[in-house]
Chains A and B, each alone.
Chain A
Amino acid sequence: MAKKKTTTTKTPGRSPRTTAGSGRGVSKTQDRRTIGKIKDLGDAVVRDSLALKEPAIGIPLRTAGNTKYNTKRRILEMGSAKQSRELFNFGMSRKFMQTVLLANGCKELVEADKTLSLRGMYYKTLHTIAGTKEKTFDGQDESDPIIEDLEVSLGALREELHVFAKKAGTMVGNITVVDTGDEIDCRRMGSGGYAIPSIVEPETLQFKKCDAKFVLHVEKNTVWSRFNEDKFWKKHNCILTEGGGQPPRGVRRLLRRLNEELGLPVYCLLDCDPWGHYIYSVIKQGSINLAFESPRMAVPDAKFIGLRASDYERCELSDDVKIALTDRDITRAKQIAAYPWFREKKHWQREIKAMLRNGFKMEVESLITKDISYVTDTYTPQRLKDKDFLD
């Protein structure tokens, strides 16, 4: 309680800092650099236009083909292939216009020293094009990827552009953090947990006191609630996180910082299906889409504790928990098995093959059929004790 009081007393003193910009995890110098980058992009377009050359914006490709697995650093890195987004290429002209539009939007945002969510950014730049009935964006689906394009082509991170994603992800455990000046004791978060913000850079979020020995990351909120209710983190002295399926950047960045700065090993408890495998892959070596961010997000030492295809027999689960693999699942599983960072790992090849041989997938919740707390009381502790992980 005392700690909570102190945080409240600090509140008035926080506002001037926020307006000063440091509260966003982005410094003034960084802002100037970002504006410079946007200006460079605009200058190039204007220079080409005035010289009667076809303006184009180079955008690094965010595709599997342009993603390289760095075996030394054990992370995914973005290759050098670029797509040239041309105004006079009919298929690209709308996107070109949107890119310029959002670039200007970000510049205004940085200059005004404010932040907006992806959705806020969509609204900021949404309007009807003069003289037509056409809108600049048909929905947020159209604007989000353009912002990502902008990030990679400017070489500026989203937070540097003062844009953040919607919060998704929860944390509890033996740690105290300071979030924009507020001290948060993650041991006292009730049943809801601490919502992991989108921006968790050291400027925004600092670790204060950490007793935990490891981090357990689970796939989704339902499983996380089970662990939280059983006070697993207390018994095993750990931090419990959850990313709502594919974890957003904030969660991934936080896992990375916990691992890197506090030296905590990260264990993942995910479903036994291609999506679960890929979530693990994203946490461990980064995603294809955001390969340029992997150096600050990937946790190359993350371990996969389950579910495993063999658990169906090992835990003597009933037939009811089987969910048949769809054609899409099978295709995806084969795709994942073929990724370079999976190809070299024999145990992973065995695991995926075993799943395909089983012909069904399983969710972590399926362990509940054994006992409500089987997963927290038996399954996870057993695995941790035996150090029975997939790497």
Chain B
Amino acid sequence: MTTRPPKKKTGKKTKNKTTGIGAGTAPAKSSSAVRTGVSAEAMATQQREISVSEFFAKNRHLLGFDNPRKALLVTVKEAVDNALDACEEGGILPDIYVELLLLTETRFKVTVRDNGPGIVQAQIENIFGKLLYGSKFHRMKMSRGQQGIGISAAGMYGLMTTGKPVLIISKTSRKKPAREIVLKMDTTKNKPEVVSDTEHGEDDTLFPDGHGTHVEIELEARHQKGRQSVDEYLEQTAIANPHAQIIYVTPANETITFPRTVNDLPAEPREIKPHPKGIELGTLLQMLERTKSNQLGGFLQNDFCRVGLAKARELTAKAGMTNRSWVKQLGHAEAEALYNAIQEIKITAPPTDCLVPIGSGALLAGLLKEVQAEFYTASSRPPAVYRGNPFVIEVAIAYGGNLPSEETARVLRFANRVPLLYQQSACSAFKSIVDTNWRGYELSQPRGTLPVGPLVVMVHMASVWVPFTSESKEAIADYDEIRKEMKLALQECGRKLGTYLRRRKRMQRQLDVRTVLERYIGEIATNCEGITGTSAKKIYEALLTQVKRKTAEADAILDREGKVIASLDETDVVIVTERQAGGGGAAFDESLFESTTTTTTKNRVVRKKSKKRTIRRKRVA
């Protein structure tokens, strides 16, 4: 429920700004205090009357449509996020197709197609043609989308800039033919307007799986490669979603495939009720009004998590009431007393099984796929709670290899598997990385900045409610609890990296020693022959045996944590990165391993049988 207040405020603000007196709904909305008789449903009907086009024209930056370049990214992002959410909810391994078709210099056609369960005809209009309509807004459940604005806003942006309606093709089952709907939004009424609705048997070829959704949006946009581009977004999405296959056709008509590397869907996140500690007074008041329970005890037990009979009794007693108090009779003062009681009394942390982290194994798989490095490691924190919202922080790092060594580390931020590309420096993840002392892990780090080196740092926050700094969902807000967890996870990865780098340094040193020794023992052998008459060759070979024995470590192969896992012959120096070793923790990782130890996030078991990735380094001559 904490999800709503910021959103509502925006709505209200917009309303006052854009419709003002004219809308005639102001009285119900203007006060954040006691409102009587307005249910959520009534609210929704009122919202429909907002002049969406004006709202949108003035506030498009709030949704991320600041400029043509960003508009393109946001459109793709919203469509892909929806597609992934739909597939996962439908229990289908996602196959996503993204195409950017360049129509004119400034106009693009964005096509996004998934193999999800499809959308029933009746809902298509609402989902794509109506702002603030969706399944994710009213619930406490981990998902990519949260607000129900995204895709409809994208469609509307397209309509506004090009006048072209949105084309949706959806197929829900093999038996039914695909349905093609061309949709316009009545922007003054926030109402979908169906231009055409036809059955298209021939479109079935688009959906080899027999189901899926296909969306086409035409919009004014600009495509540019590099940072904060569609390309980067898709690349990072592939990292955080190794269970998805993404095919991307660029404006230059190149096809890039991000293959699937994990063949198991993430577990279905469980929906939870709000935690008492996580709500604000206003939310509490709302909940009191909307509850189906008659008595306070029932309300507390049914509408919140972690409140049982005893805890409800304790809370009501503290607030000067009883479990039998009638909800309808509670006024503002009583609600406030209850709110204060909640703050004072200890309540068990919210359940954390509602969270589905990516898992160290899948994180590594994703990173390994998209980043060419030499060393990878990941760490998953146990679930923690901020403001009554459970969350999990996961960190993965990649080091060395083809990464640029002179630049500052690249930061990949994710919230519920969605890449965050803008406002990096405002983000808690960024601040945590800067806060971490990387110098202790053999990296250089100018004061107050990111570490410098061939390093990619990936931070993922999974939560039923990710606290963004703004509606455009670009940066994670800086809560102490979140920052602490991020730092701990970063430090864990950093320690492993440090161990590895120190070990590697030592190996390099041994290698140097070996080259030097090999030079000298030739001299020594010849001169010893001169002195004693013993054959130089014999002496040389005996000494060489010893040299190799002394510098055996240089031949060793290291695992992610810098432990020796095997020794190869002395001809090459091989650094092996264990492909999917490391902490399990999430159920869907398990198939990756031949043997698994789950639940412990600090799991450091190295599995020798898993696939290895080898990067050969040329011996220093």
Taking Cβ atoms with an 8 Å cutoff, the residues of A that contact B are: 38-39, 41-43, 45-46, 49-50, 52, 54-55, 87-88, 90, 93-94, 96-97, 100-101, 103-104, 107-108, 129-132, 134, 136
| Residue in chain A with minimal CB distance to B522 | A130
- In the complex, which residues of chain A have a beta carbon less than 8 angstroms from the beta carbon of B534? 46, 50
Contact assessment for B531 and A42 in the assembled complex, using a CB-CB cutoff below 8 Å: yes
A46 B532 Cβ-Cβ under 8 A: yes
Complex Cα distance, B519 from A130, in Å, reads 7
B539 touches A49 (CB 8 A): yes
B531 touches A134 (CB 8 A): no
Question: Among the listed B524, B546, B550, which residue makes an inter-chain contact with A97, where contact means beta carbons less than 8 Å apart?
Answer: B524
Are A49 and B543 closer than 8 Å at their CB atoms? yes
Q: Are A87 and B543 in contact (CB under 8 A)?
A: yes
User: Does the CB pair B531–A38 fall under 8 Å?
Assistant: yes
Residue-wise, chain B 537-567 has the 8 Å CB interface mask toward A (1 for contact) of 0110011011100100000000000000000
Q: How far is the CA of A107 from the CA of B550 in the complex (A)?
A: 31
Flag if B516 contacts A50 (CB, 8 Å): no
Interface string of B504-529 (1 = CB under 8 A from A): 00000000010011011111100110
Contact partners of A54 in chain B: CB under 8 A: 546
Residues of A within 8 A of B539 (CB): 46, 49-50
Expressed in whole angstroms, the Cα–Cα distance for A167 and B77 within the complex equals 87
- A27 CB, min distance to chain B CBs, angstroms: 22
- Please tell me if B446 contacts chain A, counting CB pairs below 8 Å: no
Q: Which of B523, B532, B550 contacts A88 (CB under 8 A)?
A: B550
Residue of B with least CB distance to A43: B532
Contact (Cβ within 8 A) B523 A39? no
Residues from chain A with Cβ under 8 Å of B517 in the complex: 87-88, 93
Q: Is the CB of A94 within 8 A of B516?
A: yes
- A-B contacts, 5 of them at CB < 8 A, read A46-B532, A50-B542, A87-B521, A101-B523, A101-B524
Tell yes or no: B163 within 8 A of A by CB.
no
Residues in B whose Cβ lies below 8 Å from that of A52: 542, 545-546
Report chain A residues within 8 Å CB of B527. 42, 100-101, 103-104
Given A52-B546, A100-B523, A134-B519, 11 further pairs, Cβ under 8 A: A41-B531, A45-B524, A49-B539, A49-B543, A50-B534, A54-B546, A88-B546, A103-B531, A104-B531, A129-B520, A129-B523
Answer yes or no: B331 CB below 8 A from chain A CBs. no
B532 to chain A: closest residue by CB: A42
Chain A proximity of B568: nearest CB distance (Å): 23
Does B5 make an interface contact (CB < 8 A)?
A: no
Q: Is the CB of B522 within 8 A of A131?
A: yes
Contact A46 B528 (CB under 8 A): yes
In the complex, chain B residues whose CB is within 8 Å of the CB of A107 = 530-531
Chain A binding surface SS class: helix
* A-B contacts at CB below 8 angstroms, number: 82
Selected from A43, A50, A136, the residue in CB contact (under 8 A) with B523 is A136
What residues on B are CB-neighbors of A43 within 8 Å? 531-532
Closest B residue to A50 by beta carbon equals: B542
* Residues of chain B contacted by A93 (CB below 8 angstroms): 513, 516-517, 520
A42: which B residues are within 8 A, CB to CB? 527-528, 531-532
Q: A131 to B621, alpha carbons, bound, how many Å? A: 10
Residues of A contacting B516 in the complex (Cβ-Cβ under 8 angstroms): 90, 93-94
Q: What is B's interface to A at a CB cutoff of 8 Å?
A: 513, 516-517, 519-524, 527-528, 530-532, 534, 538-539, 542-543, 545-547, 550
Beta-carbon nearest neighbor of B525 in chain A? A49
Closest CB-CB distance, A227 to chain B, in whole Å? 48
Tell me, in angstroms, the Cα distance from A100 to B527 when the chains sit together: 6
Please state if A131 and B519 are interface contacts (CB–CB under 8 Å): yes
| Across-interface contacts of B542 in A (CB, < 8 A) | 49-50, 52
Give the residue name and chain of the B residue nearest to A101 (CB).
B527
B543, closest chain A residue (CB): A49
Q: Contacts A49-B539, A87-B520: A39 and B531 contacting too (C-beta < 8 A)?
A: yes
Please state if A96 and B532 are interface contacts (CB–CB under 8 Å).
Answer: no
Minimum CB distance partner of B538 in chain A: A50
Contacts of B522 in A (CB 8 A): 129-131
* Least distance between B554 CB and chain A CB atoms (Å): 13
Contacts of A38 in B (CB 8 A): 531
Chain A, Cβ-Cβ closest to B520: A97
Rounded to whole angstroms, the CA-CA distance of A45 and B546 in the bound complex is 13
Q: What's the Cα separation between A103 and B547 when bound, in Å?
A: 23
Cα-based distance from A165 to B550 in the complex (angstroms):
39
Rounded to whole angstroms, the CA-CA distance of A129 and B521 in the bound complex is: 10
**Contacts of A100 on B, CB cut-off 8 Å?**
523-524, 527-528, 531
For the complex formed, measure the closest distance between the CB of B544 and the CB atoms of chain A, giving whole angstroms: 10
Q: Which of A43, A45, A46 has the most CB of B within 10 A?
A: A46
Contact: B513 with A96, CB < 8 Å?
no
Instruction: Please give, as numbers and ranges, the residues of chain A lying within 8 Å of B546 by CB-CB distance.
Output: 49, 52, 54, 88
Q: Which residues of B are found within 8 Å of A46, using beta-carbon distances?
A: 528, 532, 534, 539
Taken together as a complex, chains A and B put the C-alpha atoms of A229 and B550 apart, in Å, by 66
Known contacts A46-B539, A49-B543, A94-B516: A87-B532 contact under CB 8 Å: no
On chain B, the residues within 8 Å of A39 by CB distance are 531-532
Partner of A108, one of B524, B530, B550: B530
In the assembled complex, how far is the CB of residue A134 from the closest CB belonging to chain B, in whole angstroms?
6
Closest residue of chain A to B530 (Cβ to Cβ) is A104
Query: For residue A103, which residues in chain B have a CB less than 8 angstroms away from its CB?
Result: 527, 531
Nearest-CB distance from B367 to chain A (Å)? Answer: 37
Most chain A beta-carbon neighbours within 10 Å: one of B538, B542, B545? B542
Instruction: State the Cβ distance, B535 to closest chain A Cβ, in Å.
Output: 10
- Which A residues lie within 8 Å of B530 (CB)? 104, 107-108
B550 cross-chain contacts in A, Cβ below 8 A: 88
Taking CB as reference atom, which chain A residue is nearest B515? Answer: A132
Bound complex: CA of A50 vs CA of B531, how far in Å? 15
Residues of B within 8 A of A88 (CB): 517, 546-547, 550
Q: Which of B521, B523, B530, B542 has the most CB of A within 10 A?
A: B523
Least distance between A40 CB and chain B CB atoms (Å): 9
CA distance A176 to B523 in the complex (A): 48
Chain B residues, Cβ within 8 Å of A41: 531
Q: How far apart sit A132 and B550, CA to CA, in the bound complex (Å)?
A: 22
Judging by beta carbons under 8 Å apart, are B524 and A87 in contact? yes
A42 to B547, CA, bound (A): 19
CA–CA, A129 and B524, complex, Å: 11
Min Cβ gap B33→A in Å is 77
Bound: A263/B265 CA distance, A: 104
What are the 7 A-B residue pairs with the smallest beta carbon separation, nearest first? A42-B531, A104-B527, A97-B520, A104-B530, A42-B532, A49-B542, A100-B527
Contact of B524 among A90, A96, A131, A134 (CB under 8 A): A96
Docked Cα-Cα span, A54 to B545, in Å, equals 11
Nearest opposing residue in chain A for B549, CB measure? A52
Task: Given A50-B542, A87-B543, answer yes or no on A97-B528 (Cβ-Cβ < 8 Å).
Answer: no
A90 & B528 in contact (Cβ 8 Å cutoff): no
The complex places the Cα of A54 from the Cα of B521 at a distance, in Å, of: 12
A131, B540: Cα distance in complex, Å: 15
Residues of B within 8 A of A87 (CB): 517, 520-521, 524, 543
Q: Which residue of B lies closest to A106 (CB)?
A: B531
Q: Closest approach, in angstroms, between the C-beta of A313 and any C-beta of chain B?
A: 60
A297 to chain B, nearest CB (A): 29
- Chain A contacts for B524, CB-based, 8 A: 45, 55, 87, 96-97, 100-101
What is the CA–CA distance of A41 and B532 in the complex, to the nearest angstrom?
9
Distance to closest chain B CB from A110 (angstroms): 11
Max chain A C-beta neighbours (<10 A), residue from B516, B517, B527: B527
> Are A97 and B523 interface neighbours, CB within 8 A?
yes
Cα distance A90–B531 in the bound complex, in angstroms: 24
Shortest C-beta distance, A104 to chain B (Å), equals: 4
User: Chain B contacts of A94 at CB under 8 A?
Assistant: 516, 520
* B520 with A96: CB separation less than 8 A: yes
Cβ distance B501 to chain A, nearest Cβ, rounded Å: 20
Q: Which residue of B lies closest to A134 (CB)?
A: B519
Q: How far is the CB of A48 from chain B (nearest CB, A)?
A: 9
Alpha-carbon distance between A286 and B531 when the two chains are bound, in angstroms:
32
Docked pose: A291 CA to B131 CA in angstroms = 96
> For residue A134, which residues in chain B have a CB less than 8 angstroms away from its CB?
519
Report chain B residues within 8 Å CB of A96: 520, 524
